Amino acid sequence: MDWKLLGLSFVMVFVAELGDKSQLAAISLSGQCQNPKAIFLGSATALIFASFLGVLLGEGVAQVFPTHILKAIAAIGFAGMGLGLLWPAQSAS
Q: Give pLDDT tens digits for 22-81.
A: 888 888 888 888 888 998 999 889 989 998 999 999 889 989 999 899 899 989 999 998
> What pLDDT shows up at residue 19?
75
One DSSP character per residue, 11-77 reads HHHHHHHTT-HHHHHHHHHHHH-S-HHHHHHHHHHHHHHHHHHHHHHHHHHHHHS-HHHHHHHHHHH
Q: pTM surpassing 0.75? A: no
pLDDT at 21 over 80: yes
> What pLDDT shows up at residue 55?
92
Query: Can you give the residue ranges of every domain in the chain?
Result: 3-86
Amino acid identity, position 42: G
